[in-house]
Structure 1
């Protein structure tokens, strides 16, 4: 997939890195010269200029992009970039600050495809929103530790298993479970895993791909998140138990 990211600050650059590591094409748009140099020094394609101007987005290839992530610290720039990208048929993701969460979400939720709060979700949350699908980042606990919510699909290898039969990687722990249409609760061993059920898992970033393959079971080329997604790096884990602020 191809992405355009507005802003090469901490959130934008980290998001670009995780997308590139999963084989996606990424172009950054950044006004600040020092940030442009830093991104280019990491071998990213960067268009230097204002991300709210259509000519700069066109130079970045917005007309060919699958999604645009407006991840600067400037809400006006982010919203303008999303509106331009929407005109070009892109999926649009807009960053807002945590302080503005309720008001801005209500005002803009219908105008963009997804609104994110990177101070809470970090780069993975931004990446997840860009990809779309059945895994959602809930919180960054530490640099390599993430809480995610996954939804069981028809393709999930563990569909039909019980909680007691579920084997996650050593660096992953099941925190909560909810039947489809019901609230999350502490999991009990005899609960069965069926399509639409939700599981909240605490996992090391290195095993998130394995966790997704076990609980979601989607192929590497499919988007995997309602805020987010992770591409397969070890499809062999499908049988279960073999085993990332400011602009």
Structure 2
């Protein structure tokens, strides 16, 4: 299994930090970025081959590859998204489709979370589970969250931001375990998704799989401090998590 990080987006709501940096390289603490934290998580659970999908300000990631490899004991591969500044991340994940057959631990490049999330997903492997989403079932949900409805009998039924929070099982936190057996179907679903609308999320690709009869499972992460960094308030919260006072 390899690690995969989506770090191609421009992160416009974090300007001026993202004038010349992708969101994944915005400083969270001295010499620490989201990408640092994610690579450290992978190394902690024994995932040392990692691919990073880059696009906006890709050169900034390229310049740090050697340092990341030395610091975390990982081997890095960069995957280039040529439409990162205009298309959404369904296309970004599809750009890494050739890697899915190795089995992937996927993490969004803007999510600060502990390695316990990766461990939870690895512990949830087995049986016929092919795609497992890290799910926060503790947090109070609002409009912006990626919400999930899940049942033990059917797995994930709905994944979307456009849902009444009261009906949701929890929030998908942007980390997924993808088994090799899911590679072809997921790549096809992602292509169908971005061809329908290039501004859709890869979670819309998950929904397409569900609508076609595939099962997607979840793994609740328990009470965990984490945050998806979309704006300056989120960045402040990430800094509180990483460097508590």
Same fold? TM cut 0.5: no
Higher relative contact order (CA 8 A, sep 6+): 2
TM-score (norm 2): 0.31
Q: Which has the larger radius of gyration?
A: 1
TM-score (norm 1): 0.31
